[in-house]
Amino acid sequence: MRTTILALSVAALLSLSGCAIWGSEGGPGGSGMKKPVLQQGAGATADDAVDVVAGDDGVQRATITLTDGLRFSPSTVRARPGTVELTFVNSGGTAHDIAVRDAGATADTGNLNGGQQGTVRVTVTAPGRYPFPCLYHASSGMVGTLVIG
């Protein structure tokens, strides 16, 4: 049953992606974000979810690869409330532009051509799910998720 819910949630997220991703969903806490898609410990997304590693400075860091398949690898990053630094590495030839959205602000990598990388840092205090869409390819499903729990 949980698998069904997961699939439906992902489908809903994908269908709502694109320019209007914040429109009907209303952002974190909005009606479209209330389902706990990620099942902790269930293993359903273990192959595509990573836990960030906190450095000595307390900043939680993860590196995410951007592919020509218009996907993130991994597509889900789990962290605790606090400062999260995500580095996006474009491994392909297609340009991407990633925006990480938290409750108060948006951090954007800017355009990343093939071979380039960009780092964004956000401080998130409220648990929730924060999408990081590729501004070019969100409508193709290129939307990752930062899970603060």
Residues that bind Cu ion (CB under 5 A): 96, 134, 136-137, 142
Which of 78, 137 has the CB closer to Cu ion?
137
User: Could you give phi then psi for residue 147, rounded to 5 degrees?
Assistant: -105, 115
Phi/psi zone of residue 27: left (φ > 0), alpha (ψ -120 to 50 degrees), beta? left
Cα(109)–Cα(125) distance, rounded to whole angstroms? 21
Q: How many CA atoms lie within 13 A of 93 on its CB side?
A: 0
Which of 65, 83 has the CB closer to Cu ion?
65
CB of 69 to Cu ion, least distance (A): 10
CB of 127 to Cu ion, least distance (A): 27
Element (H, E) at 4: helix 2-15
CB of 137 to Cu ion, least distance (A): 4
CB of 90 to Cu ion, least distance (A): 9
Which of 64, 122 has the CB closer to Cu ion?
64
Which of 129, 137 has the CB closer to Cu ion?
137
